[in-house]
Each structure stands twice: as C-alpha cells, then as structure tokens.
Structure 1
Amino acid sequence: MSTTRTWNPHVTVATVVCRDKKYLLVKELINGQEVYNQPAGHLEPDESLIEAAKRETLEETRWHVNIEHLLGISRYVAPSNGETYIRFSFIASATEHNEAAHLDDGILEAIWLTKDEIVQLKHALRSPMILNDITRFEQGDKLPLCSLYDHTEN
C-alpha cells in the first residue's frame, strides 16, 4: 500500500528590471550568507500575480515598477531543501524610486549591475533562474500580460 504525500509547490514572482543595460538585483542575507537575487517573493492570498510582482519589487528595492510582459514560467527544485517553486517572471520598467519605503528584513541593498557583473557573481546567485531570466530577456522572450487569467468568484 502506498502512502499519499501532500505536495504544495511554492508560487513565486520575480521581475527583470533593466535600465541602461543594467539589471536591478537585490543583495540579501539568507541563512547567514550574502546572496544576489532578482526582486522576488511569494504570492500572497487574495493577490494577483502582477500585484505580487509590483509589491515584492517595491518591498525589496524601493522601486515602483510598471509590469510590461510575462517573461515566462519556471519550475525549480531547490537543492538546499527539496522544495518546488513555480516562478512567474515578469519584465518591468522602473518608474519611481521611493527612498522612504521600508525594505523587507534581510535585504541589504538594491543594486544595478550589468550582465557581465552578474555572471562574475554566479557563485553568489540565489538560484540559476536569475541568469536564465536575463538570458531569456536578452533573447527577446516575452508574452502578453493577457496570457494570465485571474479568475475569482465572490
């Protein structure tokens, strides 16, 4: 007889924000280690994917963004904990910096880096999805936001 295991993948969002050939990244402290990531985080209850992407970017970088396209959807199994993450990556443009905005705990700074600088930090990237997203962005991958359908019933 087999036992049924409950499987709950984590739904996350991330933004690729590019300005003057530099990408907006977050330097954060995870388990006592400094790592780099795109602005990213978990979808919260009663929140659309686009709302989550805007919120996470602001909370981690102090930048308001305009979400322009869906870059793609990735599945990632983290080797550190075996958890599965379903990540919706978006292309966004920075519209306004809010220095007064509170940064999430663990965020050390938001930083703009070129792709070459990011490649040099490969050992310190939180996941391989960061460079994957940048490569897809530079190849011109993008889907219209209408590819997402947010159905809610009251």
Structure 2
Amino acid sequence: MSTVWKPSVTVAAVITRQHDQHLQFLMIEEETDEGVRINQPAGHLDPDETLQQAVTRETLEETAHDFTPTALIGSYLSRYVSPVNGEQVTYLRFAFSGELGQVHQRDLDHGILRTVWMTHAELLASQERHRSPLVLQCVNDYLAGQSAPLSLLFTHPSALVTSQLK
C-alpha cells in the first residue's frame, strides 16, 4: 500500500499599526497541546476557497476583524514535530500583508484566548512561545520589505467546484 504525502496548506496575516512611535503587529494567543502560544492570525485553507479568501476568513475568525489582503509576503515550507506524541506535519504557509477593517462583535475561534499588539522587540523576546519559527520569519520578511502582488496567485475555477454547484 502506497501513501501519498502532501503538506498541510495554511495562510497567515501580517497586520501592522503605528502606536506611540512603534510599529506593532496584531498577534493572537492560542491554547495548544504545548500550552499558550503566539501566532499571527492563521489557519488552514478550506475546500472551495482561494488563498485570499482563506486568510480573510481566518483573520475574522481569530481576531473578529475584517481583513483585506493586499500583498503576498512569501510562501514558507516547514516541518513540525509534536513534542507530545512525535507526530510530524509539513506545512506550506502563505503569508499576506493587508488592511485591517471593521471589528465585529463575535466570539473568537475555539482555542483563541485573545488578540494582542506586539512590537518586533517583544516578538524577539517571546520566541520560545511562538507557535512556529515561521511567525518571526514572516514578520522579518515583512520588515525587510518583501512583497509580491496578489496577481501571482491564481486559482483555477476547478478548485471552486463545490461552491459553483450551489
């Protein structure tokens, strides 16, 4: 019996604001099997959605804010090995920058404890609590000015078959 390997596709939003002369990043604190971790608003690509739709949805679910992606910061491949059970997962993450919109009165996703604005220095000082090394990598790439147009991303209509049949 052969097994098909495939990475888990995820999206992440790198959202910033200027506050008291400091650039801050909107982060979430989430409960995981390894305790409370810091992450960008992020999550999995669901069936029948584009990468841009996924990052918009995940940001709303985890921060209660609308989000409009305006640029692709990068794509990232990493492997995670659970210290709890040794399970290995390879992630393919697409990170986006964009505009934060209206806040909504709604519950945050299960496991999300709160949102928090953090400076780069605070993120550097809390690396041991990051959900993944990709958290800081995405921020550093953003700060380095890494940015690509969303037109680089193409979703063939066949990827959206179920939603087209409704």
- Shorter-chain TM-score range: over 0.9
CA distance in 1, matches of 2:115, 2:123: 13
**Quick one: which of 7, 10, 13 aligns to 1:12?**
10
CA distance in 1, matches of 2:31, 2:141: 26
User: What TM-score comes out, normalization by structure 2 length?
Assistant: 0.87
CA distance in 2, matches of 1:96, 1:5: 44
Instruction: Report percent identity of matched pairs.
Output: 36
Structure 2: which amino acid aligns with 1:91?
Answer: S
Do residues 119 (structure 1) and 124 (structure 2) align? yes
- Could you say what the CA RMSD is over the residues aligned between the two structures, in angstroms? 1.2
CA distance in 2, matches of 1:124, 1:76: 17
Task: Give the match for residue 77 of structure 1.
Answer: 79
Matched residue SS, 1:4 = coil
Unaligned ranges ≥5, structure 1: none
CA distance in 1, matches of 2:17, 2:124: 17
CA distance in 2, matches of 1:78, 1:15: 20
Q: Report the count of equivalent residues.
A: 151
Runs of at least 4 residues of structure 1 off by over 6 A?
Answer: none
Cα deviation code 1:20-77 (max 9, x no counterpart)? 1100000000016111000000000101100000000010011111211011111010
Task: Give the match for residue 33 of structure 1.
Answer: 35
CA distance in 1, matches of 2:72, 2:94: 7
Structure 1 residue 79: Cα displacement: 2.2
Task: Give the match for residue 113 of structure 2.
Answer: 108
**Quick one: which of 90, 97, 102 aligns to 2:96?**
90
Structure 2: which amino acid aligns with 1:50?
Answer: Q
User: What TM-score comes out, normalization by structure 1 length?
Assistant: 0.94
Structure 1 residue 11: Cα displacement: 0.6
Q: Is the 8 A contact 1:19 1:93 kept in 2?
A: no
Structure 1: which amino acid aligns with 2:35?
Answer: Q
CA distance in 2, matches of 1:40, 1:17: 11
Do residues 133 (structure 1) and 131 (structure 2) align? no
Structure 2: which amino acid aligns with 1:97?
Answer: V
CA distance in 2, matches of 1:86, 1:95: 26
**Quick one: which of 23, 26, 33 aligns to 1:24?**
26
CA distance in 2, matches of 1:124, 1:32: 9
Structure 2: which amino acid aligns with 1:59?
Answer: E
